[in-house]
Structure 1
Amino acid sequence: MAEVLARMRALESALPTEDGVAVFNRVYLTVTESVARQLGDGGFEDPGTAGELDIRFARRYFGAVDAAAAGLRTPACWRPLFQLRRHPGVHPLQFALAGINAHIGHDLALAVLDTCRVLDCEPHALEGDFERVGEVLGGLEERIRESLMPGPDVLDIADPLTHLVGSWSLDMAREGAWAAARMLWGARRLPEVAEEFTERLDASVGLVGRCLLTPLN
């Protein structure tokens, strides 16, 4: 966890404040700091398993960041954020939600599989801590929305933004990720099926991300 936090803080220092990836990184750093505190305070059923899941999860994001920095093709779920990260018509809240959508909607399911393979366990062994992380995310979601949403003095201008962000649900994304993880685990002995499902999951999450990043100005 210390290495994960160090990498996120390094990205925070290196990226311009208004960069869309920087916006998401700040949100992710806040969440990860909260998870790290609860790991230390005994807030998880199995701190070792939860920590492994969190590390595997973060590495998916770092892989996308590294691919973009190297000029390589990023996963489809991350592509809209990296392509539109400097668009002046996209609001910071849109950047944050697009990153969360990519990371939860796609990366989380694959991180569950990564963790199961490393720890030689079934997904149900992670379910309790998976739900606990979800509770942490849920508690922070409203604060994130409030901190990035325009103030009351510009609510008329922000009406399209309010509609756009209200169409996306963290809970539904988490439920979808858990279902996808279970499906992929069940299909692990059918590599062609698992590969096709993973590709389609990536593409569909990317489509949602592109909608979330619709320029509003």
Structure 2
Amino acid sequence: MASPLARPAASVPSVDAVVARMRALDAALPARDGVAVFNRVYLTVTEEVGRRLDAGGFPDPRAAGTLDVRFAQRYLAAVDAAGEDRRPPACWRPLFQLRRHPGVRPLQFALAGVNAHIGHDLALAVIDTCRTLGCEPAELEDEFDRVGELLVALEERVREELMPGPDLLQIADPLTHLLGSWSLERARDAAWAAARALWALRYCAGIAEEFTERLDAAVGFAGRMLLTPLPG
């Protein structure tokens, strides 16, 4: 498997191309498949990024578009790896391994995907974008924050669409405790800190590689907890 810190390809697909790929996945996967559940909510946010780019909603459209695409490419690479019987990053493995488990609820699948994508992929996507554009993370902070606002909307959408009704989600429900154990805001803040650390370590390949592997493993462990099968 290629190093997660390998320099990305110079060419950057458009946001529209990424959206088209996600739509194709949505059409191909069974609705209850755990990857399909995450893909649907992520597709919605990526479509919104495209609309805002077209409407001039980012101060630096090139930087925002590049960050969005590099971010999405990390998820799509994991999908490709799983589809080709290669090992995806550790952060994604729980979702691919448990994607058809009848004891895992749709909300868990969605949050596990968000956990993997933000907890691990976002920091590496910032580094990918800096290398593509020849800039430093500080120059992407505005775009990172604006994309982050859309990610908050992603979490809200997940909860609105997939949260059981109030009559079903009681305080004793194990899902209640799982929901309280993970925060998108904390994950986003940690991703920015990790991106800055990786950038500072960019000339220390061995240390950067170890840092990335540990980040991947830690996020994977959190994802496995989020996917704990629950009683119906």
Structure 2 residue aligned with 1:111: 125
Name the TM-score, length of structure 1 as normaliser. Answer: 0.97
Once the two structures are superposed, residues 128-183 of structure 1 have per-residue CA deviations (whole angstroms, 9 ceiling, x without a partner) of 01000111121342232021011133224972112101211001000010000000
SS in 2 for 1:43: coil
More helix by share: 1
Equivalent of residue 151 in structure 2, options 126, 131, 137: 137
Cα distance in 2, alignment partners of residues 213 and 148 from structure 1: 15
Structure 2 residue aligned with 1:208: 222
Mapped pair 1:188 → 2:205 = no
Letter paired with 1:159 = D
Cα distance in 2, alignment partners of residues 116 and 156 from structure 1: 45
Mapped pair 1:95 → 2:109 = yes
Structure 1 stretches of 5 or more lacking a match?
none
Equivalent of residue 24 in structure 1, options 30, 33, 38: 38
Asked if the contact 1:150/1:158 (under 8 Å) is kept, the reply is no
Letter paired with 2:194 = A
Once the two structures are superposed, residues 58-79 of structure 1 have per-residue CA deviations (whole angstroms, 9 ceiling, x without a partner) of 1111110000001111100000
Give the fraction of aligned pairs with identical amino acids, expressed as a percent: 72
Structure 1 residue aligned with 2:53: 39
Name the TM-score, length of structure 2 as normaliser. Answer: 0.91
Asked if the contact 1:80/1:206 (under 8 Å) is kept, the reply is yes
**In angstroms, what is the RMSD of aligned CA positions?**
1.1
Number of residue pairs the alignment of both structures matches: 217
Structure 2 stretches of 5 or more lacking a match?
1-14
Stretches of 4+ moved more than 6 A in 1?
none
Mapped pair 1:57 → 2:87 = no
Mapped pair 1:159 → 2:153 = no
